Amino acid sequence: MNRFLKRLRALWRRTELDRDLADELRFHQEMLAEEMHGGGRKEFGNPTALHEACREMWAFVWIEALWQDIRHATRTLGKTPGFTIIVVLALALGIGVNTVIYTVVSSALTFNTGVKEMDRLVVINTFAMRGDPFPHSWAEYRDLRNALRSIQALAAYRPANVNWSDSTGPPERFRLMRMSANGFAVAGVKPVLGRDFTAEDEQPGAAAVVMLSYHLWQNRYGQDPSILGKTVRVDDVPRIIIGVMPSKMQFPADTELWTPLDSDLRGAAPQVILFGRLANGVSLQSARAEVDTIARRLQDKAPESYKGLIVGMQPFLNSFGLYPVRGVLIAVVCAVGFVLLIACADVANLMLARCASRAREISVRIAIGATRARIFQRLLVESILLSGSAGLLGWLVAVAGLRWFDAASINTTRPSWIDFSMNFHALAYLAMVSIGTGISFGVVPALRLAKVDVNNAVKDGGHGGVGSRSSQRLAGVLVVFEVVLCMVLLSGAGLTIRSAVNTYRAPIGVNASNVLTMQVYLPEAKYPSNENLVSFLRRLKRNLQSLPGVDAVSLVSSLPEGFVPYYPYLLEGQPRADPNHESFVAGLVVEADYFRVMQVPIRRGRVFNEFDGIGGAPAVIVNESFAAKAWPGENPLGKHFRWAPQGMPQRWLTVVGLVPDIQQNFQHPVDRAPMIYLPYAAEPQREMVLVARTTVPPSTMSEPFRRELQRLDKNLPVDRLRTLEQVIAQGRGDAAVFVTLFSVFAGVALLLAWAGLYGVVAHSVSQRTREIGVRMAVGGTAGDIVRLVFWQGMRRILIGLAIGLPLAGAVTFVLRALLVGVAPGDPLSLTGAALVLILAGLLGCAIPARRAVRVDPVVALRCD
Amino acid sequence: MGDREQSHGKLVQGTLDMLILKSLTRGRQHGYGIAQIIKQASDEVLRVEEGSLYPALHRLELDGWIDSEWGQSSNNRRAKYYRLTAVGRKQLTKEADNWRRLARAIAQVMETA
């Protein structure tokens, strides 16, 4: 230790150490000289070697060597600022976008539910084909709970949105999970405050209770510990708060409240979703097998009700968070990985090109005694220095990129729980990528240079050097590789661009400007009958309509981006189809002025009036797609058909109006869906959307709308108060984000690939200056030279395209979930991408070619 | 240095350290002085070359057996003086014992065999 400290001090005072050593040896020499009268120098031997020998004892040789290498590398890189800047920029872009995407994807996929051993939690699906949980009946739940051996405990839940009101603040709308009392036990989570649900809470007649999320407790009640026992109103039913769940608990995401399952959910109709924890040591496969056996037994027992039933089991995580779209996320990660690979290939290419010019320098170093290991180390230090600075710059790119992504994705369907701040994972990843790229692009050229043939390189004056032939070949391969990756990225960008154009070009069919929308949910406790619903909404509509600045108000069951229920229909005069081959159509419930508010022209017939639907008057309005499908070439007015959920009483509906198609789904706006509209009075809904056409900017009407709603019922929350333009922007936001993302990737990739190609061609031209000079001297024309240079570059582009075209067709297949109105392998996108690459290639060759034809044979032959 | 002298002056591996330590028991001394002491004490049989003396001195200093300080030499020059440390003194006793045992053993072998 003492010894280490002494050496450390010596390291700190290196100049002092050197001076002392020199003094000490000189003193000895002088004493000797005095003794021998002038002959001392000779007797002394080699003072420099002795100095070095003593010095090495004190010094940490490797640290000094490293320090020397770093200084040397800095100097070398500083001497070629162009090279250094290009390399650092290319890598910084590559690393930066990678870190952004890594952060986004990892925060999207590694979503913490706060549930213990989440991967052991499974959902039982009635249809194995569907990823989503599908409701079961209470009886099925009971049967399965008793029969399943491979599930430790089985719980049932049903999500809902509820109105929340109390004396603390304005009413709010929250996501609630009604759950069997054992739900938290199955999830393995205990409340941080209060008690868990018990079996008594589930009994009929038990006091109504509710459990809060930590988030809600914090935000609305300021973590008030005396909250327990307080009574609040959930959908206007009084409930007692019995506990608060831990802060991390997100089960499922965005759930703010939990209540026991109400007894009215225990009927025969499928209403609950089942989840359970796999028993110890049981694999998902064996649990699936058991569920299959039980399903088959059910089918044998009651073939009528269980016909065609497939019971399946999925990990709970599969239906959670962004898991269902992980294919798309993986595509994005691959895309951005390609960008980094291209950047690395570029840098490797530049390093290779430098090999030739540095061969002589290295040879001289080896000739005067540097070991090859030392040369290798020095070159590697250079690479790591480059990638390290690129990493720092990349970090800045990443921070900026994340800010942009966060801002850009606000207007999308992105889940609220995604946290886009840079985390330690991302930083660790960034560091790893920086060092990793440094080593990966540094090793090959460093090995190559360290193996340089000293004799040849010195003789050659650094021209042929370092097996320049194989260097050129390797550089060529790298360029082809870049072109292939670039091709894939460009086609991906082309597809998303076409898809976004389709999305934005798709006509909505309504006039979206100056429309304000607001969700209203009327709880059953206060509005038990249809008459209550209708009269409240009519009153609200009247009040809103009388506000200054409001032109017309109406109601619709679901806004364009929302869920639309599909039910089977039967045309008059058509034979009843068997249940497996029924035709389905989506249906919306609208109030009288809906088409006026949306400014949709009526093609034929009339719109609904106040009396439609009352007393069973069977009026219906259909859109043109439905009319064309049901009665091609005929006038739909006066036609009859039946439409209803299965098992419900059906009435004959009479078509009274025909409207043009209105876009209901912005994610896939090209799928023009047949649609029918039912009068509000015929099918009153608890949850409706108010739509109002205003004569002033709609956002200025928000506050008056809130006031009017809560003047009528102070317990009603204001939910999703947005302009229609905002709603539409949100529906289209995904497309916009993906298009920007892929365009940025492809743009960066193109730039990098172009730089790579240009670098290789330009370098080869400069290497062949003498050859070009000879060719011109013996009568070669400028055309010959240009052809020579272009062939050098374009050959690689063409090979790259030959590999990249089919690959792009295959790889972009993973994007199909994103694409609207365009399929992977779309010829326009592929040829577009290829053309862009060819253009970039020609541009990359043109500059070196110009330089080549300007070569003066006399100068070229004399040079060096 | 002639061949004859060189063979005479060659030191058994490891003994140089001992000789340096021993020569410092008389007090602090610079490298040249140490070489002189050894030369004179051995009647000029043992000649310590600078090439082995200085690396040995620095090694001993790093090991903590000797200490160094800068001072004025008798002819008014700046010189590095070495001094025995307590650890060094202990080490010297140990090495001297070893040496004596070894020398006796070699002498015994040479006389009897």
pLDDT in tens, A582-592: 788 888 999 98
Nearest Cα to Cα of residue A121 among A67, A157, A173, A169: A157
Instruction: Give A52's pLDDT tier (boundaries 50, 70, 90).
Output: confident
- Considering the domain architecture, whether residues A530 and A389 belong to the same structural domain is answered as no
Residue A666 burial (10 A CB sphere; 0-12, 13-18, 19+): buried
Phi-psi region of A208 (alpha: psi -120 to 50; beta: other; left: phi over 0): beta
Tell me the shortest Cα–Cα distance from B37 to chain A, in angstroms: 14
Of A47-61, A151-165, A174-188, A499-513, the one with minimum mean pLDDT is: A47-61
pLDDT digits (tens, 9 = 90+) for A2-46: 777 777 777 777 788 888 888 888 888 888 887 776 554 456 677
How many percent of chain A have pLDDT more than 70? 86
- Considering the domain architecture, whether residues A453 and A500 belong to the same structural domain is answered as no
ipTM of this complex: 0.82
CB contact under 8 A, A50 and B51: yes
**pLDDT(A392) > 90:** no
Q: Mean pLDDT: which of A249-258, A456-465, A466-475 is highest? A: A249-258
What domain range is A132 assigned to? 118-320
CB contact under 8 A, A27 and B49: no
With a CB cutoff of 8 Å and minimum separation 6, the contacts of A796 are A476, A479, A480, A483, A757, A760, A841
Nearest Cα to Cα of residue A541 among A725, A723, A713, A709: A709
Determine the average pLDDT of the residues in A400-423: 72
Phi-psi region of B27 (alpha: psi -120 to 50; beta: other; left: phi over 0): left
Instruction: Give A324's pLDDT tier (boundaries 50, 70, 90).
Output: low
What integer pLDDT is reported at residue B2 of this predicted model? 37
What integer pLDDT is reported at residue A462 of this predicted model? 45
**pLDDT(A658) > 80:** yes
- Considering the domain architecture, whether residues A316 and A329 belong to the same structural domain is answered as no
- Considering the domain architecture, whether residues A285 and A142 belong to the same structural domain is answered as yes
pLDDT digits (tens, 9 = 90+) for A86-115: 778 888 888 888 888 888 777 777 666 777
- Let me know if residue A712 belongs to a domain: no
Least CA distance to A50: which residue of chain B? B51
Question: A1 touching B, CB under 8 A?
Answer: no
* Number of separate domains in chain A: 5
Q: Higher pLDDT residue, A156 or A579?
A: A156
Instruction: Give A303's pLDDT tier (boundaries 50, 70, 90).
Output: low
What integer pLDDT is reported at residue A337 of this predicted model? 83
Least CA distance to A42: which residue of chain B? B1
Q: Each residue of A811-822: b (16+ CB within 10 Å) or e?
A: bbebbeebbbbb
B32, B48, B49, B53: which to substitute to probe chain A, counting the most A Cβ within 10 Å? B32
Nearest Cα to Cα of residue B32 among A23, A58, A59, A54: A23
Q: Higher pLDDT residue, A304 or A554?
A: A554
Of A440-449, A745-754, A768-777, A828-837, the one with minimum mean pLDDT is: A440-449
What integer pLDDT is reported at residue A772 of this predicted model? 83
**Cβ neighbours of A689 (radius 10 Å):** 19
**pLDDT(A131) > 50:** no
The span from the CA of A249 to the CA of A212, in Å, is: 11
Residues in A closer than 8 angstroms to B79, CB to CB, are 24, 27
- Considering the domain architecture, whether residues A197 and A292 belong to the same structural domain is answered as yes
- Considering the domain architecture, whether residues A374 and A294 belong to the same structural domain is answered as no
Instruction: Give A325's pLDDT tier (boundaries 50, 70, 90).
Output: low
Q: Mean pLDDT: which of A94-98, A321-325, A705-709 is highest? A: A705-709
How many percent of chain A have pLDDT more than 90? 25
C-alpha dihedral, A821 to A826 to A828 to A834, nearest 10°: 140
pLDDT digits (tens, 9 = 90+) for B84-95: 999 999 999 998
Mean pLDDT of chain A: 82
What integer pLDDT is reported at residue A532 of this predicted model? 92
Whether A197 contacts A184, CB under 8 Å: yes
- Considering the domain architecture, whether residues A608 and A738 belong to the same structural domain is answered as no
- Let me know if residue A721 belongs to a domain: no
- Let me know if residue A98 belongs to a domain: yes
Residues in B closer than 8 angstroms to A20, CB to CB, are 70, 80
- Let me know if residue A702 belongs to a domain: no
Dmax over Cα atoms in chain A, in whole Å? 135
CB contact under 8 A, B30 and A7: no
- Considering the domain architecture, whether residues A284 and A165 belong to the same structural domain is answered as yes
Q: Mean pLDDT: which of A41-50, A240-249, A367-376, A759-768 is highest? A: A240-249
**pLDDT(A726) > 60:** yes
Question: A799 touching B, CB under 8 A?
Answer: no
Mean pLDDT of chain B: 83
What integer pLDDT is reported at residue B6 of this predicted model? 41
- Considering the domain architecture, whether residues A550 and A667 belong to the same structural domain is answered as yes
Of A217-226, A392-401, A423-432, A735-744, the one with minimum mean pLDDT is: A423-432
For B12, phi then psi, to 5°, come to: -65, 140
- CATH number for the region B3-112 comes to 1.10.10.10
**pLDDT(A646) > 60:** no
What integer pLDDT is reported at residue A15 of this predicted model? 81
Show the DSSP H helices in A277-413 as ranges.
Answer: 284-301, 326-367, 372-408
Which A-chain residues 275-294 have CB contacts (< 8 A) with chain B? Answer: none
Q: State the DSSP H helix or E strand holding residue A727, giving kind and residue range, or none if neither.
A: helix A724-767
Q: Higher pLDDT residue, A295 or A211?
A: A211
The two counts, helices (H) then strands (E), for chain B are: 5, 3
**Which of B59, B75, B77 has its CB closest to that of A57?**
B59
Last residue of a domain, one of A639, A669, A696: A696
3-state secondary structure labels for all residues of A13-54: CHHHHHHHHHHHHHHHHHHHHHHHCCCHHHHCCCHHHHHHHH
* Residue whose tokens read 């058991």: A290
Show the DSSP H helices in A213-283 as ranges.
Answer: 214-221
Residues in B closer than 8 angstroms to A58, CB to CB, are 58, 62
Tell me the shortest Cα–Cα distance from B15 to chain A, in angstroms: 19
What integer pLDDT is reported at residue B8 of this predicted model? 44
Residues in B closer than 8 angstroms to A50, CB to CB, are 50-51, 54-55
**Which of B31, B64, B75 has its CB closest to that of A24?**
B31
Which tokens sit at A98?
């990678």
CA angle A132, A137, A143 (to 5 degrees): 110
CB contact under 8 A, A58 and B62: yes
Q: Higher pLDDT residue, A116 or A218?
A: A218
CB contact under 8 A, B55 and A30: no
What integer pLDDT is reported at residue A835 of this predicted model? 93
Residues in B closer than 8 angstroms to A7, CB to CB, are 62
- Considering the domain architecture, whether residues A577 and A446 belong to the same structural domain is answered as no
Of A334-343, A530-539, A596-605, A830-839, the one with minimum mean pLDDT is: A334-343
**pLDDT(B31) > 60:** yes
Task: Identify the three-state secondary structure at position A620.
Answer: strand
Of A89-98, A539-548, A629-638, A851-860, the one with minimum mean pLDDT is: A851-860
Of A91-105, A244-258, A566-580, B38-52, the one with minimum mean pLDDT is: A566-580
A vs B: CB pairs below 8 A:
58
- Considering the domain architecture, whether residues A648 and A692 belong to the same structural domain is answered as yes
- Let me know if residue A713 belongs to a domain: no
What integer pLDDT is reported at residue A603 of this predicted model? 93
DSSP A580: G
Q: Higher pLDDT residue, A648 or B27?
A: B27
The span from the CA of A655 to the CA of A607, in Å, is: 11
Instruction: Give B13's pLDDT tier (boundaries 50, 70, 90).
Output: low
CA B96 remoteness from chain centre: 12
- Considering the domain architecture, whether residues A193 and A258 belong to the same structural domain is answered as yes
Residues in B closer than 8 angstroms to A53, CB to CB, are 51, 54-55
**pLDDT(A775) > 90:** no
Whether A135 contacts A158, CB under 8 Å: yes
With a CB cutoff of 8 Å and minimum separation 6, the contacts of A765 are A772, A789, A848, A849, A851, A852
**Which of A2, A7, A24 has its CB closest to that of B80?**
A24
Determine the average pLDDT of the residues in A454-476: 61
**pLDDT(A527) > 60:** yes
pLDDT digits (tens, 9 = 90+) for A191-205: 999 999 998 898 888
**pLDDT(A652) > 80:** yes
Least CA distance to B61: which residue of chain A? A3
Which tokens sit at A329?
């996320």
